[in-house]
Structure 1
Amino acid sequence: MTLSRTFVDVRPLRTSALFRRLLIGRTVSVLGTFMTMVTVMYQVWDVTHSTVWTGAVGLAGALPTVVVGLLAGAWVDRGDRRRIFLFNTVAQAACSLLLALQGFTGRVPVAVVLVLVAAQSGFGAVGGPAAGVFVPRLLPKDQVAAGLALNMMSFTTMMLVGPALGGLLIGWAGVGFCYLADALTFVIAFYGAFGLPALPPEGEPSRAGLHGILDGLRFLSGHRVVRGALITDLAATVLSMPVSLFPLVNAERFGGTPRTLGLFLSAISVGGIVSSVFSGAVTRLGRPGLVMLWGAGTWGVALAAFGLMTDPWAGLACLVVAGAADNASVVARSTIVQTRTPDSLLGRVTSAEQIVGQAGPNIGNLRGGLVAGWTSGATALVTGGLLCLLAVLSVSASTPELRNGAGATPDEP
């Protein structure tokens, strides 16, 4: 393989003008999302000085995703995904405008801020599954992995840039201006999707209500490849999510220096960006199952190694490796979901993937905190990483289709 083929595959940018617009809109919108995330945390802490309230910010963002998720998937699979996405983008922008209004006035109770965050998250829980069909409908099948890698690259980059930019804007112009900037980013996202054609489900639309949800769950339980992909993601997040352990490990092993803690939080993002830049080798490989298994297993091993490190630079190197492996695994998992799921079920399956991606890290951070409370931060990291590796090996053994790069076609259960 030539060196140029190891870099991120940019064929989707040349193939589809619509994909280019979508990627620009998505990148700007994700930047605004991370700016708002840090702004809400800052505002809630500034008003309350309570970790209970700042913890409630995470709950306000996660709970609507889980509650709305499956219902949203069935709705998305009954209508025009483009129209659903545009409507929910406008609704999210309206929530940001209301957050900006309260930020400028400064006289709104914190509970109202959390309600607006929850509402915005709920609209995002519907818009996310609708957007989940865009890449496989716009790109040839052999470029879907490359398109998802470009999406992931923009997400990881904005995850690094967004909080820093949000902090600068808060210091320069205040929280109201930062929320207003987020509202404007949704305008770019709306423009990015406005030129899409109508995207109704291909095949039989979802049945209404509970029947449609049960159809989606039956597909997930019966399709070995897609089921294995979601189980692998749960193993990586629930069993070994490390973020809640960083402050404790920093205090136990590295003297509690704030600078070190900040680097820990950035290292995983840096690894993800590096992995995205050199993603061409794995997206062109055409074996997403194998890439996902190796990525998730390496994530677990790297975090276990981080738990054993006493040198901060060696620990940072482990986290960079973990971030790179996680990025490759996420792109591969999304490729499996979007190429192995029939279009008529894609909204429901993408919604389930979104729920796993939202709930898994929160549960994993809770698990890590509980284990660390009983033992130590290093023990929680090492045991979590090894459990993740064992779970990935179990999925690999029970689902040979993932290892072999074969598997059911999109039309087979």
Structure 2
Amino acid sequence: MPEPAPERRSRLVDLSPLRESPAFARLWIGNSIAAIGGQMTIVAVSLHIYQLTGSTFAVSLVAAFALIPTVVAGLWGGMLADAFDRRAILLIFAVLSWLSTAGIALVAWLAAEDTAAITWLYGLTVLNAVGTTIVGTTRTSAYPRLLSAPRIPAAAALNGLAMGLAITVGPALAGVLVAGIGLAWTYTVDVLLYSAAFIGILSLPKLPPQGEVMRPGLASLIDGARFLRRAPNVRASFVIDIIAMTFGQPRVVFPAAGALAFGGGAVTVGALTAAFAVGTVLSSLFSGRVTGVRLQGRATARAVHAYGAFIGVFGIALLAAWWLRESEVLPAAGERIDLAGLLLLGAGLLALAGAGAADNISAIFRQSILQTAAPDNMRGRLQGVFIVVVTGGPRVGDLYAGVLATVLAIWAPPLLGALVITALVIVLMRTQRSFAAYDARDPQP
């Protein structure tokens, strides 16, 4: 019988994975440092391209060019992780990520003001995204080899904490460094920070594949898809995330919220964006009791319901601000935010922080289900599918929000999306009974 999940008394983040596995601890610390540098470079590249072109569209192409390679890298990296020594895969593609970051720094040192640098920035950023995606896929699929099953939820919470801090600290640090010491030095700092990732990777034991091994290729991908069809609980964990990310991603309306509803312009957009990450960090810091939950399928559904509710509250705050401006009860929004706009913005920020917290809690349970219920020789490929879900879902959500905001109003995507999330999660839980009954003491795919 599987070891029962431990009961947690403290509300604070469970640090037992760091104590249980020094290898995991070194890997987590190295990745946490490297992730801050990665977020710095994302922001610095955007600023660099905007300085060279003055075009927001040119900046948006950074993500557009990287989207398909990232999806392909997730699937291919998953197959590699299931077929070869995961330590070796981590090392090879960490080197690729490091070299691409060093290449970006070199471009900045040698040709920062040359418009020809744009092509290099696009190409090196895509290479970096490919390397980082394969490293992330392989690293996460290796956790169950480093930790006992009851520690996996706590490891997922620690990863949420690391990513939340990276998203919060990295962009802010990039802004300070670019303004203070310039782009070239900012990229160079990332090169140094990313070097920390090698500390964890080099100290790992060998992690050769276990069970039936298939060479990477179409047959391996099809085999993974067949397994997923036979794995209703893992499949439901993907579907519920797609629901949340498709109908609950209001970030494309943030610029309009700052310009037309709350006021405050770019400052408001930055605050709205940061609020989600703040919620992620706080929920990770106080995740101690969360990681001891046994009925993880039901807990995932409750977290996604909460996510939808918080997105709905944000939609209500946005609707109130928009209506007050449109009806001329209040003056038009501007770069300076008035008292009413500040109050409604505060409500919106709290709602988005709550949404970030709920999404992180959901991710803890979904990652736990994936890593404990799937056999080792499938974890890489399923982790690759997970990358596709978390990469593609928000992009589809951006399209949904953009179209609905254009056809109706800026408040429509979050408000209507919250209702759709609630309805679809209810349907999912009633049709996927095994997911509703999923118990961490007896993980079944």
User: What TM-score does the superposition give when structure 1 sets the normalisation length?
Assistant: 0.95
Counterpart CA distance in 2 for 1:69 and 1:257 is 36
Q: How does 1:23-62 map to 2 (within 5 A)?
A: 23-62=28-67
Q: Which residue of 2 aligns with 1:171?
A: 179
Which amino acid letter does the alignment assign opposite residue 307 of structure 1? Answer: G
Find out whether 1:380 has 2:413 as its counterpart.
yes
Q: Which residue of 1 aligns with 2:232?
A: 224
Q: Which residue of 1 aligns with 2:347?
A: 314
Q: Which residue of 1 aligns with 2:201?
A: 193
1:247-295 superposed Cα distances (whole Å, 9 cap, x missing partner):
1233332135433322211111111111111111111112322221111
Which amino acid letter does the alignment assign opposite residue 320 of structure 1? Answer: A
Q: Match for 1:357 among 378, 381, 390?
A: 390
Q: Which residue of 1 aligns with 2:108?
A: 103
SS at match of 1:200: coil
- Residues 7 and 292 in structure 2, CA contact (< 8 A), matched pair in contact too: no
Q: Which has the larger radius of gyration?
A: 2
Most deviating of 38-47 and 170-179: 170-179
Most deviating of 89-98 and 238-247: 238-247
Which amino acid letter does the alignment assign opposite residue 310 of structure 2? Answer: A
Q: Which residue of 1 aligns with 2:323?
A: none
- Residues 93 and 184 in structure 1, CA contact (< 8 A), matched pair in contact too: no
Which amino acid letter does the alignment assign opposite residue 99 of structure 1? Answer: I
Q: Which residue of 1 aligns with 2:326?
A: none
Q: Which residue of 1 aligns with 2:365?
A: 332
Find out whether 1:65 has 2:70 as its counterpart.
yes
Q: Match for 1:400 among 429, 433, 436?
A: 433
Find out whether 1:254 has 2:254 as its counterpart.
no
Identity %: 32
Q: How does 1:277-292 map to 2 (within 5 A)?
A: 277-292=285-300
1:111-167 superposed Cα distances (whole Å, 9 cap, x missing partner):
221111011111223222211222211111101100111111111011100000011
Q: Match for 1:391 among 404, 415, 424?
A: 424
Q: Which residue of 1 aligns with 2:18?
A: 13
1:148-199 superposed Cα distances (whole Å, 9 cap, x missing partner):
1111111101110000001111112211112122222222101111111111
- What are structure 2's unaligned runs of at least 5 residues? 1-5, 321-343
- What are structure 1's unaligned runs of at least 5 residues? none
1:384 deviation in Å?
A: 1.5
Q: Which residue of 2 aligns with 1:305?
A: 313
Which amino acid letter does the alignment assign opposite residue 63 of structure 1? Answer: I
Q: Which residue of 1 aligns with 2:301?
A: 293
Most deviating of 248-257 and 201-210: 248-257
Pair 1:2–1:64, CA change in 2 (3 A): closer
SS at match of 1:204: coil
Root mean square deviation of aligned Cα: 1.9
Which amino acid letter does the alignment assign opposite residue 232 of structure 1? Answer: I
Q: How does 1:260-275 map to 2 (within 5 A)?
A: 260-275=268-283
1:22-47 superposed Cα distances (whole Å, 9 cap, x missing partner):
11101011101100010011001111
- Residues 247 and 414 in structure 2, CA contact (< 8 A), matched pair in contact too: no
- Residues 240 and 385 in structure 1, CA contact (< 8 A), matched pair in contact too: yes
- Residues 247 and 256 in structure 1, CA contact (< 8 A), matched pair in contact too: no
Most deviating of 80-89 and 183-192: 183-192
Counterpart CA distance in 2 for 1:257 and 1:95 is 34
Which amino acid letter does the alignment assign opposite residue 76 of structure 1? Answer: A
Counterpart CA distance in 2 for 1:208 and 1:169 is 41
Q: Which residue of 1 aligns with 2:86?
A: 81
- Residues 66 and 126 in structure 2, CA contact (< 8 A), matched pair in contact too: yes
1:325 deviation in Å?
A: 0.5
Count of residues paired in the alignment: 412
Q: Which residue of 2 aligns with 1:145?
A: 153
Which amino acid letter does the alignment assign opposite residue 65 of structure 2? Answer: A
